[in-house]
Structure 1
Amino acid sequence: MKNYFMKSVMMVMTLAIVIPLGSLQAEEDLVDVQLQGLNDWHGQIDYEGYDEDFDGDGEEDPAGRADYLAAYLDEYKEDHGNTLRVHAGDMIGGSPLIAASFQDEPVVEIMEAMNMDVGTVGNHEFDEGVDELLRMVNGGEHPDGTEGYDGMDFPMVAANVIYKDTEELIFDPYTIEEVGGEKIGFIGVATTETPNMIIQDGNENLAFTDEAEAINEYVPELQEQGVKAIVVLAHNPARQDGDVITGDAADIANSVDDEVDVIFAGHNHVYNNGYVDDKLIVQAYDYGTAFSDVDLKIDPETGDIVEKTAEIVKVDQSQVEPDEEVAAILAKYEEKVDEIKNDVIGEAAFDLEGGYPTRGEIGDNALGNLIADGMVEAMDSDFALMNGGGIRADIQEGTITYGDAFTVQPFGNVLSKVEMTGAALEDVLNKQISAEYGPDYSVSGFAYTWQDETQEVVDIILPDGSEIDPNETYTVVVNNYMYGNAESGIAELSSNMEVGPVDLDATVEFIESFEEPIAYEAEGRISEVEPKEEYDLPVDGTPASDRAKERLQELAEKGVFDQKNKGKNSKPDHAQGK
């Protein structure tokens, strides 16, 4: 009996050893491939973010900048013989002075120095129209560019971007890269929301088809060429909460052929690293502060990806020495823009935060208020609206330079003054409120309350504390991007459009007009109020709707709408059009 037991144990132990050994043997036969991915760089080649304490000293440490990013990519490549570098769009557009001054060509020069292998388009690649994008990809000189610019030395792919008149694609839908003896297919797509986020001028003939349908159309073509490892470069957003990923990229993952293994997401500048329908989705923040490091194992007999894992790597400057080649490129362009970049135009009393309005009782932000007030002054208007996506950075406490202002407003949009009724203004404000994000525009010349339940405005209050007159005609300044965006309704609901100065010029002149350090704050120009079922409940006999009006009227009495005059000198209003 004892011998039988021992014999049985030995058989089990042998099996336990043999099975892993067989697996290890198969593991050794697999081909290791590394994919390093970027997204949403926006030409921020000189950007240093301070958003993480890497060394544990209680202070936020610098992350990013192109020369450190390049060094990090190489550092993580050292243990891999088979590496490809890819990007998921918005690598150019919305760029700081060092890149935008030369049509973003320095960004391409650095991507080539970093040995980029393949990329796709985001919405910002279309900032200056499709013809300029084609020049950026294929080469050709621009008056503001660099001498002898010859385009990108890596392919751009986009399977769902077509010309309306011919229905032909603007780029190849996919490319096949061979690494370690294995073929990998890369399909590119851009969000179908792109037309709502780009200027119409120069992009009128573009259409963006369904992303998943486009991907599924070309998977069989890749399979026919013996490609079983397929990666999607998708300028589509994703959101991760714990292990759960949602958003457009997740919807794509659920809808595309299971031959697709990995999706590089983008557009919303966040972290993603997880699985949807057994497809790996990754996204590495923005501005070159991080990259996606994806490890694949490919079965050489079938060509399939059989394992896929990823890490999102932050670019901690303290861990590497900057790449010399990229550092030299940076230095070359920094020298060219140094004088204008460092021109002092004002001073901030404290940090001036910008971006999109937020939910809550005080939803506006200091920099949005400052810019909108500058728009009013530049064009002598009643009101101004400034889109949150057009405010690309904050202004830090202390000296404000032209380069700082350019980084905030890099698009070169032109101000447009229009006439619209109070009712039309309310309609425009309603259109800019989304269920997911809330309000979009910063405002000047009025304050308003809105309700999340209905995503609609409740009250609009003027500087004298009165309500806006729906039948009165007012002048409103916006930028040409907002005016040309059909989704905004501005062009449709207004008349007598008048062109003004470049938005950055208006902001710079407004900043220069302050004698004292600028002390703008979030103050309640935009305010979220209670849900409808609570909104009309009286408190101490006063209905909530009246309480909201009283609060806005109190703001008016406190001079909130006159904040733009705080610390200013007494020089006359700026001439319209500068």
Structure 2
Amino acid sequence: MRTRILDWLFAATLAGIAAPAIAQVQAEHGSIEQDYREERLEGLQARQQAAQRRSWRAPDWRPEPVVSINLLSVNDFHGQLSPRAVAGRPAGGAAVLAAYLKAASNESTLIVLDGDQVGASPPNSALLEDEPTISFFNLLANPHCRPFSRQMQMPRSVQPFAQQRCNLIGTLGNHEFDDGRSELLRLHTGGNHRKGPFLEDEWEGARFPMVSSNVIDQTTGDSLLPPYSIYYREGVRIGVIGAVLKDTPSIVSPSGVAGLRFIDEADAINQSVAELRRHGVRAIVVALHQGGQQTSYEGPTQPEADTVTGPIVDIVKRLDDDVDVVISGHAHGFTNALVPNANGKPILVTQAFSAGTAYSDIELVVSRRSRDIVEKSAAVHTTWADQGAGLVPDAEVATLVAQADARVKPLVERVVGLAQGALSRSETPAGESALGNLIADAQRVATDAQISFMNPGGIRADLDSGEVTWGELFAIQPFANDLVSMDLTGAQLKTMLEQQWSGQSYARLLKPSGIQYSWSASRPVGNRVVEMRDATGALINPAATYRVTVNSFLAGGGDNFTVLTEGTNRVVGPVDLDALVDYIESLPQPFGAAVEGRIQRVD
């Protein structure tokens, strides 16, 4: 029987690791021989019976010694430490999610976090700079996991081998860049925030590895994080490659991605695949923060399921044949399908909604002979809090969440106003929403502008009727963007409105205040706006100058509204949330807002 130490040294030799580097890894993890348990040889009959439950089997499969691997994945958690409602029932929350993941885990389990672990988070995470969310995931890590900061200090050639027995790995989503590279690295590698300390006297950062292959430091030309990690499970090697959507710069404030270059997802992944092959790795999983949509269903992967749509399809089509599984995210939807690449290789693609309300349970069978994945299947499970594992939330995680709640309670529970009815961010067919109108009005009043616009992606929750607390408003506007006032001509306003469709993967209809306009879907992109009028009803004059307020994300050209970077006489005003709080407090109570026809669709 091959020993673990020989298996590791073979991979290390292929990687070109020198003796001092090997010694460094050994120092981090103790004796490699002791760190690995003996291989457990199980009967072929038991393996074959398990294989009957798999949804895909390699065409050349034959009975042979195999290893079963379990992946549990969570995408788009967004700091959702507390439960939320799904179809009228409680689901998710960190303690409930932990209970489900631990119940589903075994000795071969690897938990994969697919990006947007943080960002757009509720107050009990965001007000503490999302440290409680990383602390939650640290509690899922096994004793073999080490601080990510130590891994980042190692030579780059060693980093993929540095956490071979850790049961947890994460990749980056677009929201990890909300506060820029420095904060991204601080959160994951340690060091107290300037507002801290919070729940820990000295913030240590993540106790698990992070990978991302397509985010490049423009100065060094290297990837910001290790592009992949190599794991050993029962004598087989598994490579996990990370990637984030290449369009991240268009949906994040420019300051958040300064000095970084986002390259094509498939190109970066395939480059990492080639490197993994050189390390003798054939079983390859991709954690990709980009996704698509599919009609949801329960149970194992159905080869005949509805076709997947969205950006993920084109990316998968271009992936190398050695990619076996793509764990996807970003779309906050469901995916459990076999999507073919250009050569017809079925690649298992999963996505488990968002906010910890579900997880993907992926079962893999790896051949000891070929070292490749020969069978694979998945199921997406909802983390109901009122049944199953959710009935007994994880006690240690629940204590952490309670500590975070207590820290932010005085501010979160402050009553700001009284809503006479619920206000929704849901759009009319024209693109208007009652909650969007309220926010846009607040921003215009706060800056004494003529016109203001709010981007729909920045409105993260609806507002219930009754007492309105600061915490509820924070959940609606969690990004702490500054308001920026600028001068734009009427012609530039027209260009900005046309950019709602131009260069967008889907229409992003801004929520206006102080302006009314109509548009036609039958007209070509770039000429869809029919008419624009100001608050007095006068037509917008292309040559006139107007004072316009947007948030700092839009002001920097976010969401491809590039014309806003041309605005002149810029003045930075209050934070968007402060403007909303002040505006609601100034209104007669109870207050309300409605769809008023500010945006009209003429066909």
2:349 and 2:441 map into 1 onto residues whose CA distance is 41
**Structure 2: 5+ residue stretches without partners:** 1-47, 53-60, 142-166, 296-304, 341-345
* AA aligned opposite 1:114: L
**3-state SS of 1:467 partner:** coil
2:575 and 2:330 map into 1 onto residues whose CA distance is 26
Question: What does residue 398 of structure 2 align with?
Answer: 327
| Equivalent residue for 2:511, pick from 442, 447, 450 | 442
So what's the TM-score if we normalise by structure 2?
A: 0.79
Deviations 1:497-553 (A, max 9, x none): 1110010000001111123222212232223222xxxxxxxxxxxxxxxxxxxxxxx
1:493 and 1:430 map into 2 onto residues whose CA distance is 15
Matches within 5 A, 1:550-565: none
Paired residues in the alignment total: 498
2:64 and 2:474 map into 1 onto residues whose CA distance is 52
- 2:363–2:376: 8 Å Cα contact kept in structure 1? yes
Deviation at 1:21, TM superposition (A): 9.5
* AA aligned opposite 1:348: A
- 1:249–1:263: 8 Å Cα contact kept in structure 2? no
Q: Is it true that 1:340 corresponds to 2:411 in the alignment?
A: yes
Deviation at 1:301, TM superposition (A): 1.7
1:141 and 1:23 map into 2 onto residues whose CA distance is 48
2:465 and 2:227 map into 1 onto residues whose CA distance is 46
Question: What does residue 294 of structure 2 align with?
Answer: 240
| Equivalent residue for 1:108, pick from 134, 139, 142 | 134
| Equivalent residue for 2:578, pick from 498, 505, 508 | 505
* AA aligned opposite 1:297: V
**3-state SS of 2:550 partner:** strand
Matches within 5 A, 1:181-260: 181-201=235-255, 203-240=257-294, 243-260=306-323
* AA aligned opposite 2:581: V
**3-state SS of 2:494 partner:** helix
Matches within 5 A, 1:526-541: 526-530=599-603
- 2:244–2:289: 8 Å Cα contact kept in structure 1? yes
2:49 and 2:517 map into 1 onto residues whose CA distance is 69
- 1:385–1:444: 8 Å Cα contact kept in structure 2? yes
Question: What does residue 71 of structure 1 align with?
Answer: 99
- 1:245–1:275: 8 Å Cα contact kept in structure 2? no
**3-state SS of 2:211 partner:** coil
* AA aligned opposite 1:528: R
Matches within 5 A, 1:240-389: 240=294, 243-277=306-340, 278-319=346-387, 320=390, 321-354=392-425, 357=427, 360-361=429-430, 363-389=431-457
Deviation at 1:380, TM superposition (A): 0.7
- 1:342–1:403: 8 Å Cα contact kept in structure 2? yes
**3-state SS of 2:221 partner:** coil
Q: Is it true that 1:122 corresponds to 2:122 in the alignment?
A: no
**Structure 1: 5+ residue stretches without partners:** 1-19, 53-59, 531-578
1:22 and 1:346 map into 2 onto residues whose CA distance is 58
Q: Is it true that 1:520 corresponds to 2:593 in the alignment?
A: yes
Question: What does residue 541 of structure 1 align with?
Answer: none
| Equivalent residue for 2:111, pick from 85, 89, 94 | 85
Against the structure 1 CA distance between its residues 514 and 261, is the aligned structure 2 distance closer, same or farther, given a 3 Å change threshold? Answer: same
1:442 and 1:350 map into 2 onto residues whose CA distance is 20
- 2:359–2:382: 8 Å Cα contact kept in structure 1? yes
Q: Is it true that 1:173 corresponds to 2:214 in the alignment?
A: no
**3-state SS of 2:441 partner:** helix
2:187 and 2:508 map into 1 onto residues whose CA distance is 34
1:270 and 1:22 map into 2 onto residues whose CA distance is 29
Question: What does residue 418 of structure 1 align with?
Answer: 486
Deviation at 1:436, TM superposition (A): 4.9
Q: Is it true that 1:30 corresponds to 2:66 in the alignment?
A: yes
Q: Is it true that 1:50 corresponds to 2:85 in the alignment?
A: yes
- 2:140–2:168: 8 Å Cα contact kept in structure 1? no
* AA aligned opposite 1:458: V
* AA aligned opposite 1:293: D
- 2:178–2:256: 8 Å Cα contact kept in structure 1? no
- 1:382–1:445: 8 Å Cα contact kept in structure 2? yes
* AA aligned opposite 1:352: L
Question: What does residue 540 of structure 2 align with?
Answer: 468
Deviation at 1:437, TM superposition (A): 3.0
- 2:51–2:375: 8 Å Cα contact kept in structure 1? no
* AA aligned opposite 1:182: V
2:375 and 2:306 map into 1 onto residues whose CA distance is 18
Deviation at 1:186, TM superposition (A): 0.4
* AA aligned opposite 2:562: G
- 1:131–1:202: 8 Å Cα contact kept in structure 2? no
* AA aligned opposite 2:394: D
Deviations 1:129-179 (A, max 9, x none): 111111112111112233211111111111111111221111111001122
Q: Is it true that 1:40 corresponds to 2:76 in the alignment?
A: yes
1:22 and 1:451 map into 2 onto residues whose CA distance is 56
Deviation at 1:22, TM superposition (A): 13
Question: What does residue 451 of structure 1 align with?
Answer: 520
Deviation at 1:202, TM superposition (A): 5.1
* AA aligned opposite 1:376: R
Q: Is it true that 1:495 corresponds to 2:558 in the alignment?
A: no
* AA aligned opposite 2:310: G
**3-state SS of 1:410 partner:** coil
Deviations 1:230-286 (A, max 9, x none): 000111121225521122222121101111011011112111111111001111111
- 2:556–2:565: 8 Å Cα contact kept in structure 1? no
Deviation at 1:41, TM superposition (A): 1.1
1:375 and 1:483 map into 2 onto residues whose CA distance is 14
Deviations 1:95-121 (A, max 9, x none): 121111111110000011122611111
Deviation at 1:472, TM superposition (A): 1.7
Q: Considering only aligned residues, what root-mean-square deviation do their CA atoms show, in Å?
A: 2.0
* AA aligned opposite 1:107: T
**3-state SS of 1:309 partner:** strand
Against the structure 1 CA distance between its residues 344 and 228, is the aligned structure 2 distance closer, same or farther, given a 3 Å change threshold? Answer: same
**3-state SS of 1:246 partner:** coil
